[in-house]
Structure 1
Amino acid sequence: MHPRDQDSTVMPHRFAVLAGIDLDDPELRRRLDAIAERTAHRLGQPIGLVSMVLNTAQVFPGSYGLQGWLAEMAGTPIEWSFCVNAVTSGAPYVVPDATEDVKQAGNPLVTVDGVRSYAGVPIVVDGAILGAHCVLGPDPRAFTEADLAELRRGADEISALLEEYRSR
């Protein structure tokens, strides 16, 4: 069965792949942070993330630009996750203005933390969609195909890196 044919956030293979990667490895985190920073700079956004989507939460093993509680927690409840949409669809997920988006307008990241724009693409390892590489910003933003291509380049690099750190 293809990942898009079921809720990929609960697929056993996906969790087996995730469990085989030491997301707490300091060198892995340093390298993921660098990719998040580079993508944020290239897209002119204040926040870049490498998000891994679990069944009840998302965690950020790589990040750039997070502040306050988001930086301290390095994750959110799954109900607040923009990235879960890229994971479950297997496709890029873009929100030009979250305050006008039916799905996201009531999200606490929007109403409390001021996130207005989001673009993310899936991160795939061994056929499993683990999370998303994304950028967020406080202003509305129309993301271009070139922006999504940059996110895809970063996601491909992240996938290769996660594969390097995967135990077999």
Structure 2
Amino acid sequence: MSRTDEHRRLAVLAGIDIDNPELRAKLDEVSARTAARLGQPVSLVSMVLDGAQFFAGSFGLQGWLAELNGTPIEWSFCVNAVQSRTPYVVTDARIDALYAANPLVHVDGLHRYAGVPIVVDGEVLGAHCVLGYEPGEFSRSDLEELRRGADEIVALLASHRLPRAAPLPP
């Protein structure tokens, strides 16, 4: 992704009142519903920045992940859905070349991931995902459920746009 593309992507994210408590509560609700429907212990609305990801909505996080509410980008599964602009699945992170040494895998025990991009104004801001502590497959209907959640998330984000600042005089 070019520097200009990354700037545009982050500008779209900056135009959303992502810290709004009402928005955050609704994103948590979407996460809880997705986790329940897919039978997974963790579900997230992850916003991917240039050096980190933060969880704008979550369900099932425990310990330090719940406290920090994000991770360095190097640990992120969601960054792959953002960069590829497509759903991303890891069935067993313990044997996946990208994730076997990841602290989320070998310390926290997260072994399974499925995420779909969250696209606002043509820019992929993050991913809606589920994670599990046991390896396993995800079905096409699982990914469709994630997509439905992501569509709901996009509508929520759009409803919490910040007012545009007036252009500065020349």
Deviation at 1:10, TM superposition (A): 6.0
Q: Give 1 or 2 for the bigger CA radius of gyration.
A: 2
Q: Normalized against structure 1, the TM-score is what?
A: 0.94
Distance (Å, rounded) in 2 between the aligned partners of 1:24 and 1:141: 34
Q: How does 1:1-168 map to 2 (within 5 A)?
A: 6=1, 11-167=6-162, 168=164
Distance (Å, rounded) in 2 between the aligned partners of 1:36 and 1:9: 31
Distance (Å, rounded) in 2 between the aligned partners of 1:115 and 1:156: 25
In the alignment of these two chains, the number of paired residues is: 163
Cα 1:9–1:67 change in 2 (3 A) is farther
What do you get for the CA RMSD once the two structures are aligned?
Answer: 1.3
- Give the gaps of 5 or more residues in structure 1: 1-5
Distance (Å, rounded) in 2 between the aligned partners of 1:112 and 1:133: 23
Superposed CA deviations along residues 3-61 of structure 1, whole A, max 9, x for unmatched, are: xxx25896111111111111111000000000000000000000000000000000001
Cα 1:7–1:114 change in 2 (3 A) is farther
Question: 8 Å contact 1:50–1:63 — kept in the other structure?
Answer: yes
Aligned to 1:3: none
Q: Which runs of 4+ in 1 moved over 4 A?
A: 7-10
Q: Which one-letter code corresponds to 2:48 in the other structure?
A: V
Q: Normalized against structure 2, the TM-score is what?
A: 0.93
The 3-state SS of whatever aligns with 1:11 is helix
